[in-house]
Amino acid sequence: MKRIFDIIFSSVGLIVLSPLLIIISLLIITESRGGVFYVQIRVGKNVEDFPLYKFRTMYVHETDQKLLTIGDHDARVTRIGYWLRKYKLDELPQLLNVLKGHMSLVGPRPEVRKYVNLYNDEQLMVLSVKPGITDWASIRFSNESELLEKAEDPESFYVHELIGLKINQNLEYINKHNLWTDFKIILLTLKKIAIR
């Protein structure tokens, strides 16, 4: 049932949002050098890698490949990228991931292998389900970049504080979720984005 829900809503979403997707694509390639999409390998269900799609929001820097974006005004982020990130529009291409079966609309946000390698056995349970575009942790930590900006050591704070808190939320979701819960998470995510 969840897969049918994902296919219908990702298909409809891509069709309805296609004019917006085209406009965003044009703005990205007009503003800075590089492609429209940013593809990053993330870890999905059963600890399998998959290519996650996002709209490119950063300038192309070969020498600066830090995984974390810190604060609202990270120098690597383009002007249009700032707005795409603020309203989570950079995540829209992940509807393709959902359609292809890599992801679900709702589920634990997928991490890069670097951080997954730090999970303990209990935390690895989040990889027993498909990752999602949004989840409880995305709502609770919608201000993640601001939290990292305030941290004395952002990388350490992310690894030792945020990852564990987010995984706890995800494990709770896995233990008791249904389509109604997914609808609720989607609506709360949209509400959170609208008031940013």
Residue with tokens 């292998």: 113
Looking at residue 61, what is its pLDDT? 72
CA distance 73 to 58: 11
Number of folded domains in the chain?
Answer: 1
Which residue ranges of the chain lie beneath pLDDT 70? 62-67, 69-73, 196
Looking at residue 67, what is its pLDDT? 66
Residue 54 three-state SS: strand
| Alpha-carbon torsion (99, 9, 58, 42), positive or negative | negative
Looking at residue 147, what is its pLDDT? 87
Looking at residue 193, what is its pLDDT? 87
Question: Long-range contacts: 8-17, Cβ < 8 Å, 24+?
Answer: 9/98, 9/105, 10/95, 10/96, 10/98, 10/99, 10/105, 11/99, 13/92, 13/95, 14/95, 14/96, 14/99, 17/92, 17/95
Looking at residue 66, what is its pLDDT? 62
The count of other CB atoms within 10 Å of the CB of residue 6 is: 23
Looking at residue 26, what is its pLDDT? 97
Q: What is the pTM of this model?
A: 0.90
Range of the domain at 177: 2-194
Looking at residue 134, what is its pLDDT? 97
Residue 107 three-state SS: coil
Looking at residue 69, what is its pLDDT? 67
CA distance 43 to 109: 10
